[in-house]
Structure 1
Amino acid sequence: MNNFELGVKALQEGNLEEAASHLTKEIEENPTNALAYLNFGQLLLEIQDVERACRFFEKALELDAELAPAHYMVGNVYFEDGKYELAKKHFQHCVKLGMDESDVHFMIGLCCVNNGEDRFALPFFQRAIELNPEDIEAVFQYGLCLAKLEVLDQAEEKLLQVLSMDDTHADAHYNLGIIKMYQDDLEGAKNHFKKAIESQENHMLAMHALNVIEQGD
């Protein structure tokens, strides 16, 4: 195996020092190998060196503007840094380059949500669910968007689907409780708020909502 292959193998096995050594040699010997920069960036993310990692991902894109995994990694870095519009552009570029995967569509949806564009997020969460029906967070975010847009029947259906996959999902219980309040079903709301608190003891929103109902009884 050459230095690049040895570096990737070491990275996959968690041998970061060995991976760094091989990938450094590869970059020195083949400075136009975009994949070497991509993998070195992933290595830097493993040690929480986000700033340098982003520079390596950007170098990979400078060498190969159509390297979809590099766009995905840069998108994640921008997302974590709160630069949602920039992140979205990179994730959307991944899709244009053929990366039609659940995680990519999910991240575009999250970018839309964080930009206050809940309506635009819906088709991306829907596509993420189509590609991976077991993606509980995609189902939850889809239901949450529907709730914020006051499409309550469909929101309730999706949040119940979340609970069918994980009955201890505190935020699903909390949001179902809010929907029940809108439906004037206070007992149903109390039940969901209590379950949210059982699942997450410090769920302040559920505690507050439950207190409001109980004070009104």
Structure 2
Amino acid sequence: MSDQDTLQFMPLDLDIFSESERFMTGTRLGSAFSEGIRAYLRAAYNDAIEHFRAALIAAYVEGEDQDRIYARERAIIYLYIGNAFALQDKWETSLHEYLEAIHIDSDLTEAHYNVGVALAAQTQLHRAIAAFKETLNRNANLYEAHFSLGRCYQQLGDARCAYIHYQHACHIRPDAAEPLYYMGCIHQCYGSYGLAQKYFTHALQVEPTFVLPKEQGEHREFTSDGELIQWYYHLCDDLKAHHYQEEAEHMYRILLQWCPQEHTARYLFGNLLARMRRFYLAYEEYAHIPPQNTHYIDARIRMSTILKLQHKLREAYKLLFDCALLFPKNGHIFLHMGKLLYEMNKIPMAIRAFERSVQLLPNNIQGHYLLGCAYTATGLDLRAIVAWQKAVELAPDIHSLRYDLGYLHFQHNQYSLAAQAFAHVLKYWPDDIQTNFMLGLCYKELLETARAIPLFEHVLLHNPRHTQALYYLGVMYMKTNNVSLGKAYLRRYDYLKNKHILFSTNGKSPNANEASISDFKFVMV
């Protein structure tokens, strides 16, 4: 299609019975507008324009008489004057009237749409697109705006954007044939004649009276099959981005029927099915990817995840083990093997898998963290400290990880190191109760009472029933000779203890020793 070919769309009218009841009153405004509508409906557009202009004058006069201007009515009148000119192909004049309507009432959706219609008729397609998008900002489900945008984009050669808006139009009005027809034209333009014919047939099924134009699109010559394949990849990406999963699934199936060796499409198709929670079908697609393909390892890892979701841990591990035999230098395989072994409570084997993973992926934060978790599960806390220190070096902004490291330091009486870690976390999480409490414990052990007391008080400010904070505050105030306040805190502690209201925690990070690897939250799993 040539960029100079004009696009003509029907301008929108509106329901005046719901938009403005004043048109129905027995005033000069109502009478003149009614005469204009009668002329408009019988296609006497010049007469209609005269009556509408008379109604416009009446709107000003009656508005002044009643000390108010009928802005909505005037905008609607300008809209109909513009339509009367548009239906006579006087697009420049109609555009002026539509812009006047928008100037008076910027919320009149039909006026914004009709501006796009007038601009498209004058081959100003980029400005028309902007007007149609402005229309969608006011009514996102306006069929006409999506369809017109599709036609404009198709005219400009942007088939992907055109296809998406046609898809929107079909979603809004499933019984409309035109969007289906033009979607078929796009497929035909790209050489997919069988798929194009399906859309043409579907168009006639939903609207049997629809007449297919003689020219059903243009054929485009491609330099290679790869260019055509890439176009369908981009189209599928756009469909997924706009949440048209079923349409994207259909496109992937068509592409794989045409090119069954296009394993990248098979991998992406499997990902789409997995996101739709159709795991059995996703597993089948992943299974067809051969070892020489670049997506083979990722596909096997995803297959093992599907088996894990089905509680088939041994099968999942066997799948990864076989993959590791083929690719012994891929650290991601060993990382996921370690996770499965940890879930199977085979901690020593999990440690070996994680150690191999960090050897192959020395800058992988998750591997170092999970290795530390496995070490803590077997009591190898000093090794865990080394692993988590490496993880903190790689990701200094992951404050939860630094908290866990501080807790391990505290467990091994390394109070200065623990205090440094908790103080760093507190800079970013100043109101975190547990971090305040742990830092207070560190200062207590370091005999820095003056620094510990404000931290425990901060804990009680947010949780008055934190019994351990009450106890330590009481003891420290007693040591600083503030006996009355110390006794008050200790009495409160005894009261809560006797009532068995023990809201405090033991200072252990929820992700430390007893944390399951499946609960890992610091780094994307």
Q: Whole-Å Cα distance in 1 between the matches of residues 400 and 441 of structure 2?
A: 19
Q: TM-score, normalised by structure 2?
A: 0.35
2:430 counterpart of 1:167: yes
Q: Whole-Å Cα distance in 1 between the matches of residues 270 and 458 of structure 2?
A: 44
Question: Please, which of 290, 311, 326 is the counterpart of residue 49 of structure 1?
Answer: 311
- Show the counterpart of 1:157: 420
Residues 41-190 of structure 1 aligned to structure 2 (within 5 Å): 41-45=304-308, 47=309, 49=311, 51=313, 52-182=315-445, 183=447, 185=449, 187-188=453-454, 190=456
2:468 counterpart of 1:209: yes
- Kindly state the Cα deviation for residue 138 of structure 1 after the two structures are TM-superposed: 2.1
CA RMSD of aligned residues (A): 3.0
- Kindly state the Cα deviation for residue 42 of structure 1 after the two structures are TM-superposed: 2.7
Q: Whole-Å Cα distance in 1 between the matches of residues 262 and 349 of structure 2?
A: 33
Aligned residues: 206
Question: Please, which of 460, 468, 473 is the counterpart of residue 194 of structure 1?
Answer: 460
Q: Contact conserved, 1:78 with 1:87, CA < 8 A, in 2?
A: yes
- Kindly state the Cα deviation for residue 115 of structure 1 after the two structures are TM-superposed: 1.9
Q: Whole-Å Cα distance in 1 between the matches of residues 342 and 432 of structure 2?
A: 24
Q: Whole-Å Cα distance in 1 between the matches of residues 366 and 331 of structure 2?
A: 13
Q: Whole-Å Cα distance in 1 between the matches of residues 321 and 349 of structure 2?
A: 13
Unaligned runs of 5+ in 2: 1-255, 476-485, 487-525
- Kindly state the Cα deviation for residue 99 of structure 1 after the two structures are TM-superposed: 4.5
The structure with the greater share of residues assigned to helix is 1
AA partner of residue 428 (structure 2):
M
Cα distance change on mapping 1:161 and 1:212 into 2, 3 Å: same
Matched-pair identity in %:
16
Which structure has the larger Rg?
2
- Show the counterpart of 2:287: 24
Q: Whole-Å Cα distance in 2 between the matches of residues 189 and 96 of structure 1?
A: 41
- Kindly state the Cα deviation for residue 184 of structure 1 after the two structures are TM-superposed: 5.8
Cα distance change on mapping 1:78 and 1:167 into 2, 3 Å: farther
Q: Contact conserved, 1:170 with 1:195, CA < 8 A, in 2?
A: no
Cα distance change on mapping 1:145 and 1:162 into 2, 3 Å: same
Q: TM-score, normalised by structure 1?
A: 0.77
Q: Whole-Å Cα distance in 2 between the matches of residues 131 and 39 of structure 1?
A: 26
Cα distance change on mapping 1:57 and 1:174 into 2, 3 Å: farther
- Show the counterpart of 1:202: none
Q: Which deviates further from its counterpart, 36-45 or 85-94?
A: 36-45
4+ residue segments displaced more than 6 Å: none
- Kindly state the Cα deviation for residue 196 of structure 1 after the two structures are TM-superposed: 7.1
Q: Contact conserved, 2:456 with 2:469, CA < 8 A, in 1?
A: yes
- Kindly state the Cα deviation for residue 134 of structure 1 after the two structures are TM-superposed: 0.9
Q: Contact conserved, 1:156 with 1:179, CA < 8 A, in 2?
A: yes
- Show the counterpart of 1:6: 265
